Structure 1
Amino acid sequence: MTKKKMTVREAALHIIEMIDKQQSYSNLLLNQIIQREKITGPDVGLLTELVYGTIQRKLTLDYYLKPFLRKQPDQWVRNLLRLSIYQMVYLDKIPDRAILFEAVEIAKRRSSKGISSFVNGILRQIQRQGVPSFHSIDDPLERLSVETSHPLWLVQRWNKQFGWTKTKEMCQYNLLPPTQTARVNRMRTTKEKVIPLLEEEGFDVQPSPIIPEAIRILRGNIAHSKVYRNGLVSIQDESSMVVAYALELSPHLAVLDACAAPGGKTGHIAEKLQGTGKVTALDLHPHKIKLINKSAERLQLRNVKAKVMDSRYSSEILQPGSFDRVLVDAPCSGFGVLRRKPDIKYSKTIQDITSLSQVQQKILKESAKAVKQGGLLIYSTCTVDKEENIGTVNEFLRQQENFEAHPIHVPESLTHLVEPQANTIQILPQDFGGDGFFIAAFKKKSE
């Protein structure tokens, strides 16, 4: 007997449950279910909206739900209610009767008549009475936490690190869907040639005002384009592209990308070397090395060599002082990419930040051994946390007397964000709509 195909809302509930149970990443699960259930056309957009919207607003939805719950339901029932309330409050085009009908049908298929009556009763109450206002929350940080669905400890931490205005802007900006951006492979084409090709395929595209080789895709997923398949572009966030500028690349350099997967920065570095020199890309996992190689092959880059290696112990294998440039794009909390991976904000803790800082220090210390005298070491993260960023930089410079802070090179459009005293740049999501990103530059002193 063939298995009945999931409805879009059943698929959304399934993904949300899997994220809860397995701490799986929403973007990976979403793609898996779209392929497995053969979801196509507008349903892909709706499923994406339901999953990301419900996860992104989870704390807000729980606040809306709380006055109507006299008992704590099973987790799947709570997720079904969150999913339904998200549609009722945030999606104008779906009538309430359709939302209620679908929720009750899912509850019937999943459980007893009692559960479907419970779901129906809660949703009808909310439909009649409306959701509670945020005005009853006196503390402004707690109100911001609930209103923008960021854990209170994180809002309090950012408020100490960045102040109220930047924290509020960042929390609000994190609720907006990110714009897809791509890097044009200037080894093989130009932005001026790529934009019309994409427009012919039906994409709405504009040049990036931030990065010279970047474009912004306003409509459509460029991963499905011929232009992408033919290796003329790579999907990469504009903030992430700044890293290749900080490396101050010129032809024939030897570059080490110490934490390379999935290979976006590796490809950018190889392109900026104009096919010369050598880019050695390391990652701990063999399947991620395959991704890097596949990407280099698609882009027709011959100067990339990917190796399975744990960067915490790379000096046991790599020749000391053998690279002109070393990039450590370190594992981090990921608080700069909450628009793409909203589940991160609920799973990470202060303890995670402390333990990640220790890992970052170890990788930096180890990778520093590979830098030639007079060479550059670049440290980057996709987070906004100051302990992981400035804290790691200061500790590295304290321990490594043969390195000094180096003036950071960035595209002209971003020079106003550089901290000149620290030789670092901290990009926040609200700065230009890119990911939150941090970059620091160090130079190895000549003896």
Structure 2
Amino acid sequence: MKKRNARELAMDLLVAIEEKQAYSNLLLNTWIDKYKLEQKDAALLTELVYGTIQRKLTLDYYLSHFLEKKKKISNWVIQLLRISLYQMVYLDRIPDRAVLYEAVEIAKKRGHKGIAALVNGVLRNIQRKGLPTIKDIQDPIERTAVKTSAPKWLVERLASQYGFETAENILSSQLLHAKQTARVNKLKTTVPQAIAALEKEGIKAVKGKLVDEAIEAVKGNLANTSLYQKGWFTIQDESSMLVSLALHVKEGEQILDACAAPGGKSTHIAELLNNTGKVVSLDLHEHKIQLIEKQASRLGLLNVNAKVLDSRNASEHFPPNSFDKILVDAPCSGFGVIRKKPEIKYTKTEEDILSLTSVQKKILASVADLVKPGGLLVYSTCTIDKQENEEMIKYFLKEHDDFQLDETLKDRMPEKVRQYVENGFVQILPQYFNTDGFFIAALRRKVQ
């Protein structure tokens, strides 16, 4: 396959992400493999794609001062201007002259002289006049929306739920680069052994900040190692690892993971069970069940039983009191993982949240009777939206008086997290530990 320029690839990828409503992380990995990019080009492509999506509304605000409003400009040209401006504003290592040269060459190749002249004119104008000041925007909601590149409705919603300052901190922290962390499989190795072995493969890793079995990559990609293939670890965010700890897993237990794909939490539970008991992992789609089975096999886990099943119908397939513990890692708006899936900011709507809360309620209602009396039901989401989190738990407890918040959750959380545990739930905001935003609630079924 003909070698492709990283900047031109970034432009095409951004067009594809917008037009197909695709997830940036999935498409990016596919294209890096497809075009067999060298490490340096793959790193630049990743930086340009993630950075440009993360800062899209800020870049558009800057560009709007240099583009004629009436002009209809093709999507690929807008993307080219965005990635070029992103490099000029946010990347120190690339000189402006190199950015301009590349942009004009791509414009000539993909369009005509008029487009090349437009691209050259806009970028040189910005270079000459400088950028407009965001501080000049009078309305604080609009100013924060432009500054953090978030839709106004999302700024307003978070400000109403958390207060203006916390909302701004949430959205600003989501602009930072995501760390790559992994959960070490203690059935195969230890954290120190994994770190030492990774060093031999040219990967610098350190102990995680929150969870005992976590490591963090400082240099290199953990997923591209032979140790990953051997099942020594699973790529997972540290705040996501907290979910399985909340279940207080004990050997021999029967545990249901009601919304299990792609299997990170199911396999964590299976490891905590020490390959005893059983984890029943449900998902709607056959191909996702295969993902879970593949992960379990890679990790050497024999106690994962993955089934294609809509968890809203779980009560029709399992008798009451079937499980010691149940995890509902519910489908959600995903506003806690914007660092890794930045397009979520622009594609999700308030209507989506309403329809998601309806699904969340149905799943919880379906699995509630499957928990043994005295057992635990853990509800988690990778969002920071209170309607999907605290409000959902209040609703569930009102409908199910045989459950109560489990106040011992705090004891199961790592020391650094305990300050954020309130009653039986914890909301991790992304700025706390530079992790994903996560909500976890532990509910105990009363013994009648």
Q: Using structure 1 for the length normalisation, give the TM-score.
A: 0.97
Answer yes or no: is 1:445 the counterpart of 2:441. no
Answer yes or no: is 1:369 the counterpart of 2:369. yes
1:94-142 deviation line (CA, Å, top 9, x unaligned): 1222212221222222222221211111111111111111121122232
Answer yes or no: is 1:140 the counterpart of 2:140. yes
**Any conservation in 2 of the 1:245–1:411 contact (CA below 8 Å)?**
no
In structure 2, C-alpha distance between the alignment counterparts of 1:72 and 1:369, rounded to whole Å: 57
In structure 2, C-alpha distance between the alignment counterparts of 1:389 and 1:5, rounded to whole Å: 47
Which residue matches 1:426? 427
Secondary structure of the structure 2 residue equivalent to 1:243: helix
Answer yes or no: is 1:336 the counterpart of 2:339. no
1:37 partner letter: Y
Q: How does 1:31-430 map to 2 (within 5 A)?
A: 31-70=29-68, 71-407=71-407, 408=409, 409-420=412-423, 423-430=424-431
1:35-84 deviation line (CA, Å, top 9, x unaligned): 11111121110000000000000000001101111124122211111111
Secondary structure of the structure 2 residue equivalent to 1:300: coil
In structure 1, C-alpha distance between the alignment counterparts of 2:93 and 2:208, rounded to whole Å: 32
1:296 partner letter: A
In structure 1, C-alpha distance between the alignment counterparts of 2:415 and 2:122, rounded to whole Å: 54
Shift of 1:369: 2.5
Give me the identity figure in percent: 54
**Any conservation in 2 of the 1:332–1:383 contact (CA below 8 Å)?**
yes
Q: Using structure 2 for the length normalisation, give the TM-score.
A: 0.97
1:319-375 deviation line (CA, Å, top 9, x unaligned): 221110000000000000010000000001111111111111111111212211111
**Any conservation in 2 of the 1:381–1:437 contact (CA below 8 Å)?**
yes
1:206 partner letter: V
Unaligned 5+ runs, structure 1: none
- Runs of 4+ in structure 1 off by over 3 angstroms are none
Q: Supply the RMSD in Å over aligned alpha carbons.
A: 1.2
In structure 2, C-alpha distance between the alignment counterparts of 1:74 and 1:226, rounded to whole Å: 44
In structure 2, C-alpha distance between the alignment counterparts of 1:15 and 1:237, rounded to whole Å: 25
1:260 partner letter: A
1:225-265 deviation line (CA, Å, top 9, x unaligned): 12211111111110001111110111100000000011000
In structure 1, C-alpha distance between the alignment counterparts of 2:289 and 2:276, rounded to whole Å: 21
**Any conservation in 2 of the 1:180–1:237 contact (CA below 8 Å)?**
yes
In structure 2, C-alpha distance between the alignment counterparts of 1:208 and 1:31, rounded to whole Å: 25
Secondary structure of the structure 1 residue equivalent to 2:388: helix
Number of matched pairs: 443
Aligned match for 1:19, one of 9, 17, 20: 17
Shift of 1:218: 1.0
Unaligned 5+ runs, structure 2: none
**Any conservation in 2 of the 1:289–1:308 contact (CA below 8 Å)?**
yes
1:261 partner letter: A
In structure 2, C-alpha distance between the alignment counterparts of 1:313 and 1:115, rounded to whole Å: 55
1:10-29 deviation line (CA, Å, top 9, x unaligned): 11011101111111000000
1:446 partner letter: V
Secondary structure of the structure 1 residue equivalent to 2:188: coil
Shift of 1:433: 1.2
Secondary structure of the structure 2 residue equivalent to 1:135: helix
In structure 2, C-alpha distance between the alignment counterparts of 1:288 and 1:65, rounded to whole Å: 41
1:163-205 deviation line (CA, Å, top 9, x unaligned): 1232222121111111111111111211121111112222121
Which residue matches 1:30? 28
**Any conservation in 2 of the 1:184–1:234 contact (CA below 8 Å)?**
yes
